[in-house]
Structure 1
Amino acid sequence: MNPSRARRSRSPRPERLRAAGGHLIGTYGLLALTVLLFLAFSLALPHTFPTLENIDSILSSQSIPAILALGATVPIVTGRFDLSIGYGLGLAHVMVMWLIVDSGWPWPLACLSVIAGGALVGVLNGVVVEFGRIDSFIATLGTGSMMYAATGWITDGSRIVPGPQGLPAAFTDLYDSTFLGLPVPAFYVLALAIVLWVLLERLPLGRYLYVIGSSPRTADLVGIPTRRYSIYAFATSGLIVGFAGVLLAAQQQIGNPSVGLDYLLPAFVGALLGSTAIRPGRPNALGTLVAVAVLAVGLAGIGQLGADFWATPLFNGATLLLAVGLAGYSARRRLCAGATVDRGEPAGPAPTERSSPMRNGGTPGATP
């Protein structure tokens, strides 16, 4: 009998159990952490934390960061980063206020125009990155600075405040209303996460984006138009940022030219930390949603415990470093998993994206 086969046959179950346990922890660990954090803060703050009012507050206040994190996730799938989303959020919400208050536009037309404008800004980002051959960090930081300048020009550095009649009630209801006893913005987040999950996990477009992010050279070899689909990713991100800007305007009810940058770091924390959950090793919409839930519960808990003002940026910064580290570890672990068998013995070349894109009759497939 082959000695290596004998070694493998003696103890396959413990190895498989360990592998299954590691998979479960990687997939659902963040979700379990959310539950544990909620239980811990509920025990520490029994009169304020586990209440319907607190849950409503968390869902409402974290809806815009969640939407922005989902928007940041799409370019990350292709291996790009859109640092302009914070600046774009500030410009979008100021534009909505300017069109409604100063220009007298009907609020539905103003909202649709700003959302469409966000998509156009995303296309511009994609063109600069793909055809200008500029690194996405530098390119989107440059376009973001230009958007910040446009925000200052529109507002002249001051706030846009509605007149005595205020804003249309139907417009503010986009953020302030409830449905089934819960804040409506929470349903926006859920609907957007489902749409992105279908797009990325179930449609060919999402499979193309994952192949591009994993190996652009492989994408070129199998005939995927890398530039075009990368621009699609940036356009989707810009569209989502425009929608988040509309909600921010309905929430703030004033045009504040400096508010958008406060959302940049939490958005990337959620997007990067989300790549360690549900589908560990790759960015995904449901993972981002779970990551935002962890951040929301954690921030709400430390806030109610009386933490100082600097605790929030400290929490976000530390979580970002943790998210980047865990995302890199998950990606390496996922690549190594295909190259090892029980007891760490080599099993031949690991399955990579170079072999997976031609599954299903030549259609580029998603990574397993």
Structure 2
Amino acid sequence: MTGSPSPPRPRRPRPGGHFAAAYGLLALTALLFLVFSLALPGTFPTRETINAILATQSIPAILALAAMVPIVTRAFDLSIGYGLGLAHVMVLKLIVDGHWPWPLACLAVLVGAGVVGVLNGVIVEFGQIDSFIATLGTGSMLYAVTGWVTGGARIVPGPGGLPTGFIDVYDSTFLGLPVPAFYVLALVAVLWLVLERLPLGRSLYVVGSNPRAADLLGIPTRKYTVYAFTASGLITGFAGVLLAAQLQVGNPSVGLDYLLPAFAGALLGSTAVRPGRANPLGTLVAVTVLAVGLTGIAQLGGDFWTTPLFYGGTLLLAVGLAGYSARRRLRVGTAARDLPSAPPPPP
């Protein structure tokens, strides 16, 4: 006797879809590189172009990682562009006008950047102010401090120039590649270890995904959010030191130019490697996509307005894809939870 037909079981999400979502951005990078190499065979696929990308995009990559850390906790640090500008002029101010030894000047700027990060976290969490508004306000204050320190003018070194050791922090090579590229790789490795393998990083992800659940688990959400802003401030200060060594001139208005690329890379990175959540490896892939695209467009003779157009369009695309990835991840988790368990084997 035939029993009644069993209801159809929900379909499990296919692993291929996750693979495409996780590594589609990496495939896009390879595709863009191939397209520009075919279009510009004499200039694009060269060692000089690759070294230029690694050197010039190191600071945007580091600042994107600085923006990524608070995003893990669903907060945004809009002060990183202003902090970058203040950090790089302060390094030069201490070295040129204060005659500080350059290692001590760099250390002092890093400490100050960490303090700014702590203040951002305290204002957001203990002042209960939205992170957009709070960091925009503190960023504006940092910009005012930058103008006060520089008097609205550039800081230009004297005839002797800057110390050679300080310039070599940025303008040197290792294994035939620019040293700043290794800074980026080291920072990505540290952030990946902290966020993916240590309890601190897992707690940050819990705070970002469900603050109420974090409270129930005994995770101090306020303290961990302050940690995230502190890390963002320290990374921004490090980027400011590199920017000072790159430019070798203090420009009080240069930091804002890096704000849009940083958030474009951080948000687009949340759609790669670990789709649906901000992660350092995805941020690195996203910055690589942006760097390859911008370099190819520049070599094709793109006008000056193509750069902000590219970044603005990428930012909108990144926000849309990040939201879609988060919703898809939630649906996949719900579907997997609702799947009926396998029936026990017959006796």
Category of TM-score, reference length = shorter chain = over 0.9
Q: 1:56 aligns to what? A: 51
Q: What is the CA–CA distance in structure 1 between the aligned matches of 2:6 and 2:202, rounded to whole Å? A: 37
The Cα offsets for residues 174-223 of structure 1, whole Å up to 9 and x where unpaired, read as 11000000000000000000000000000000011000001111111111
Q: 1:42 aligns to what? A: 37
Percent identity over the alignment?
75
Q: 1:347 aligns to what? A: 339
The Cα offsets for residues 231-280 of structure 1, whole Å up to 9 and x where unpaired, read as 00000000000000000000000000000000000000000000000000
The Cα offsets for residues 82-136 of structure 1, whole Å up to 9 and x where unpaired, read as 0000000000000000000000000000001101111110000000001110000
After TM superposition, give the deviation of residue 4 of structure 1 in Å: 3.8
Q: Secondary structure at the match of 1:163?
A: coil
Structure 2, gaps ≥5 residues long: 341-347
Structure 1, gaps ≥5 residues long: 349-368
Instruction: Determine whether 1:167 maps to 2:159.
Output: no
After TM superposition, give the deviation of residue 47 of structure 1 in Å: 0.2
Instruction: Determine whether 1:323 maps to 2:318.
Output: yes
Where relative contact order (Cα < 8 A, 6+ residues apart) is larger, the structure is: 2
After TM superposition, give the deviation of residue 346 of structure 1 in Å: 5.4
Q: 1:3 aligns to what? A: 5
Amino acid aligned to 1:130: E
Amino acid aligned to 1:322: L
Instruction: Determine whether 1:295 maps to 2:295.
Output: no
Q: 1:361 aligns to what? A: none
Q: Secondary structure at the match of 1:175?
A: coil
Amino acid aligned to 1:150: V
- Within 5 Å, give how 1:1-368 maps onto structure 2: 1=3, 3-4=5-6, 7-8=8-9, 19-340=14-335, 347=339
Amino acid aligned to 2:264: V
Q: What is the CA–CA distance in structure 2 between the aligned matches of 1:150 and 1:310, rounded to whole Å? A: 30
Quote the RMSD (CA, aligned, Å): 1.4
* Superposition TM-score, scaled by structure 2 size: 0.95
Q: Secondary structure at the match of 1:172?
A: helix
Q: What is the CA–CA distance in structure 2 between the aligned matches of 1:200 and 1:57, rounded to whole Å? A: 30
Amino acid aligned to 2:320: G
Q: Secondary structure at the match of 2:14?
A: helix
